[in-house]
Structure 1
Amino acid sequence: MNSFETQLLHTPFDKEDAYHSLSMPVYNTAAYEFDSAEAMEEAFCGRTADHAYSRITNPTVQYFEKRIQHLTHALSVTALNSGMAAISNALITLAHAGGNVVTSAHLFGNTYSFLKSTLGAFGVEVRFCDLTSPDEVRAQIDEHTCALFLEVITNPQLEVADLKTLSSIAHQAGVPLVADTTVVPFHVFHARDFGVDIELISSTKYISGGATSIGGLIIDYGTFDWSRSEKLSPMVAQFGASAFTAKLRKEVHRNLGAYMTPQVAYMQTLGLETMELRYARQATTCLELARRLETLPAIAKVNYTGLEHNPFFALSKAQFGSLPGAMLTFDLASREACFGFINRLKLIRRATNLFDNKTLAIHPASTIFGTFTEEQRRSMDVDPNTIRLSIGLESVDDLLHDIVQAL
């Protein structure tokens, strides 16, 4: 088998290009012509792989999905128009009124809102618990649990749960483990090896090639026995291990209309080709910067799970290696100190997003979690004194210089 680097560049097209292009062309089309009414029927009923409408499938998007599938050895990959679309489509595929999702309160703000407010309005109970406590997780799961969901490194708390333990608990109870793995890319973290059944990624981040576009991925590893799912068990007789993908592709993503556009798929296919190189630089810089920030007296605390004294260091290293992502946080004396620091930055950009080619700074409590109540922020451990940095491709010396002058 070829190496990851080689597979990344040499995934073949499904059909030979008429002009032998080395890059998949962008198929800017809504519809596709058929030779006959019979061929149309076969395509629309899913009996052939022919494209019928670009809200459902598109050759450029399909090629991007195929590349991710080859690299992750997944059963299927579905590309959508944002990371939140990936989360919402996946959980809507699994959840149902009267069911529940077990998760942590340590979630990205919109993910928390989607679970608590959007799914909750449709009769899905969300059970928040401490995912670092196996006993708490076991106590929350019951026969109506649709999924155990988590972020593998939470944003911005940087908490790490033991995935093999959670997977064991979930699978013993007949529940799929669904994980947002955006913070660490799949060439570093092999989700399937740690018992993740459905992997969710914001491809806006590392994959896009420097924040060129918005996208999301649902990766189904085909590892879960869907006959144990209250919602998907009726589909197992026809689709077997593909029951989740069948429900997603034949119903949910078609009806919600959140499929990735061909323009985005093209940009993210190009970004994918340099992801490994960019990540190595960003994550190495992140670790070195975290170590240097710890020497600055104006900084109260630095949080990065790659630091040896971090409480999650050993578990993080076992799951993600020595470079667990390119995001760190640090605490200053007060909210006012955080605002002053951000306002004085000259090189680092004041912006949201993660893993742009440029380093970005944000105050999570007043932005991502700005519409939450103070009580909600406390319950989610979102500290008003915390700054989040997404590390880009700049020199670590230049980043440190900007941070020191801003402090």
Structure 2
Amino acid sequence: MSSREKEYSFDTIALHGGYDPKEDGNGARAVPIYQTTSYLFNDADHAARLFALEEAGDIYTRIGNPTHAVFEKRIATLEGGEAALATSSGMAAINLAALTLAEEKKEIVCSKYVYGGTYHLFAETLPKYGIKTKFVDPHNFEEWEKAINDNTAFLYLESPGNPTLDIVDIQKVANIAHKYDLKLVVDNTFCTPYLSQPIKFGADIVIHSATKYIGGHGSSIGGVIVGPEDFILKGRVEGYRDTGPAASPFNTWIFIQGLETLSLRMEKHSDNALEVAKWLEAHPQVEWVRYPGLESHPHHELAKKQQKKFGGMLCFGIKGGFDAGKQLINNVELCSLLANVGDTRTLIIHPSSTTHEQLSEEEQTTAGITENLIRLSIGIENVEDIIGDLEQAFNKIEG
């Protein structure tokens, strides 16, 4: 692509970023899939230079791949970062970022409102490797600061949080992190770089589960880390190379296709979700609705500051608690009951018994997970059809 790449708009970068067909050996207009394990060296000296990091080039797809490189350059540009690293899953991205940052200092300070898998990684798995986590109320900035000590490696948050959809003031947390010369890591999966770019608000490293909105079609698992060049290089030649969380070339190719329509899809996801949220807020069988686009959301004004729109995720509390929620979920027809978000199709789930099931009752309460909480990932179907499906399911609830 042109040397003016960073001057182009989001939509143009999403289509062209990181790839110039004139520089491709075959002139392919679409990005090719380099479905190969390894690459020929010109001679022994060339191989030695590559392994010594004296010359750029591909060695083995566990370390790097030309298809990955296009995706990495494109997502880094869209996020306003220097470089990126594609991984085999969102959890692989989080784990690799954590291990790379917590090499010497062995404590993490993390928002308590995070995805259940992240919470379990930080609370249960990483302590086995000597890395402990302090969970804090992300909206209490004194808590962030009090939790920091000489052994703190980095700060971590999601905005919006999963599934509570709270919005954290990224700039304020970044200021605290930088006051103590620490990095702030932000999971931007729910927003994508189209709706929000955390680096603009002071974040140092951004994580995505590319499985979600970036891929967009529920067909491929993957993740990505965006950050400074030196951090990404360190992660690539150490943890990435040594532990093997490499992405599949085919999957990163799918994510490239996803990026090409990301802005179009996020507009539709956001518009549909706002309509569904307004409808739910007025529904007699709903106790509460949490969606950043509603004026009733406690962080609505902050969401307007940090996000272009409000995204496709919402959650609500159903009257009748767990039993009513189970009946609702069992009676939807258009909405799909499964453990994913960010699909073109509308998805529904009960987090307390699924995505956050591995947490204790106390941990679920701490993370804001209640038995009556239903999470919806609103798709790009006709919004009247989505509402119609929810209405017929509500009508079948007994008791």
Normalising by structure 2, we get a TM-score of 0.94
CA contact (8 A) 2:96 2:239 kept: yes
Describe the superposition over 1:275-305 as per-residue Cα deviations: whole angstroms up to 9, x where unpaired. 1101100111001110011111011111101
The structure 1 residue matched to 2:125, chosen from 118, 133, 149, is 118
The equivalent residue for 1:225 is none
The equivalent residue for 2:338 is 351
Q: 1:66 to 1:15 in 2, by over 3 A?
A: farther
CA contact (8 A) 2:80 2:197 kept: no
2:162 aligned with 1:175 = no
CA contact (8 A) 1:96 1:124 kept: no
The structure 1 residue matched to 2:13, chosen from 7, 14, 17, is 7
1:297 and 1:72 mapped to 2: Cα distance?
A: 41
Letter in 2 for 1:4: F
The equivalent residue for 2:257 is 270
CA contact (8 A) 1:98 1:125 kept: no
Letter in 1 for 2:16: H
1:71 and 1:158 mapped to 2: Cα distance?
A: 23
1:316 and 1:50 mapped to 2: Cα distance?
A: 41
The equivalent residue for 2:109 is 102
Residue segments in structure 1 that go unaligned for 5+ positions in a row? 223-241
Letter in 1 for 2:34: Y
Letter in 1 for 2:245: A
The equivalent residue for 2:158 is 151
Q: CA deviation at 1:309?
A: 1.6
Aligned length: 386
2:94 aligned with 1:90 = no
Normalising by structure 1, we get a TM-score of 0.92
Q: CA deviation at 1:97?
A: 6.2
Describe the superposition over 1:315-356 as per-residue Cα deviations: whole angstroms up to 9, x where unpaired. 1111113x2210001111210100000001011111111110
Q: CA deviation at 1:376?
A: 2.1
1:41 and 1:186 mapped to 2: Cα distance?
A: 38
Describe the superposition over 1:40-83 as per-residue Cα deviations: whole angstroms up to 9, x where unpaired. 11111111112111100111111111111232332111010111
2:336 and 2:72 mapped to 1: Cα distance?
A: 32
The equivalent residue for 1:61 is 68
The structure 2 residue matched to 1:311, chosen from 298, 307, 311, is 298
Letter in 2 for 1:40: A
Letter in 2 for 1:291: K
The equivalent residue for 1:234 is none
The equivalent residue for 1:51 is 58
Structure 1, 386-395 or 67-76: larger mean CA deviation: 67-76
1:45 and 1:264 mapped to 2: Cα distance?
A: 29
Structure 1, 72-81 or 147-156: larger mean CA deviation: 72-81
The equivalent residue for 2:283 is 296
Letter in 2 for 1:45: A
2:224 aligned with 1:192 = no
SS for the counterpart of 1:159 is coil
The equivalent residue for 1:237 is none
1:220-239 correspondence runs (5 A): 220=227, 222=228
The structure 2 residue matched to 1:396, chosen from 366, 378, 383, is 383
1:330-341 correspondence runs (5 A): 330-332=316-318, 333-341=320-328
1:377 and 1:125 mapped to 2: Cα distance?
A: 19
Q: 1:264 to 1:256 in 2, by over 3 A?
A: same
The equivalent residue for 1:230 is none
1:338 and 1:97 mapped to 2: Cα distance?
A: 45
CA contact (8 A) 1:97 1:124 kept: no
2:230 and 2:385 mapped to 1: Cα distance?
A: 50
Q: CA deviation at 1:385?
A: 0.4
1:119 and 1:14 mapped to 2: Cα distance?
A: 43
Q: 1:245 to 1:98 in 2, by over 3 A?
A: closer
Aligned residues with identical type, % of pairs: 37
Residue segments in structure 2 that go unaligned for 5+ positions in a row? 1-6, 395-399
Letter in 2 for 1:5: D
Q: CA deviation at 1:261?
A: 1.1
2:231 and 2:25 mapped to 1: Cα distance?
A: 35
Letter in 2 for 1:325: G
Q: CA deviation at 1:155?
A: 0.7
2:42 aligned with 1:35 = yes
The equivalent residue for 1:370 is 357
1:4 and 1:128 mapped to 2: Cα distance?
A: 35
2:204 aligned with 1:218 = no
2:231 and 2:104 mapped to 1: Cα distance?
A: 18
Q: CA deviation at 1:18?
A: 3.5
1:389 and 1:121 mapped to 2: Cα distance?
A: 34
The structure 2 residue matched to 1:329, chosen from 309, 315, 320, is 315
2:204 and 2:358 mapped to 1: Cα distance?
A: 32
Q: CA deviation at 1:98?
A: 5.6
SS for the counterpart of 2:109 is strand
Letter in 1 for 2:190: V
CA contact (8 A) 1:100 1:125 kept: yes
1:141 and 1:171 mapped to 2: Cα distance?
A: 12
2:265 aligned with 1:258 = no
SS for the counterpart of 1:217 is strand
CA contact (8 A) 2:105 2:153 kept: no
The equivalent residue for 1:135 is 142
Letter in 1 for 2:315: T
Letter in 2 for 1:367: T
Letter in 2 for 1:203: A
The structure 2 residue matched to 1:281, chosen from 262, 265, 268, is 268
2:21 and 2:12 mapped to 1: Cα distance?
A: 18
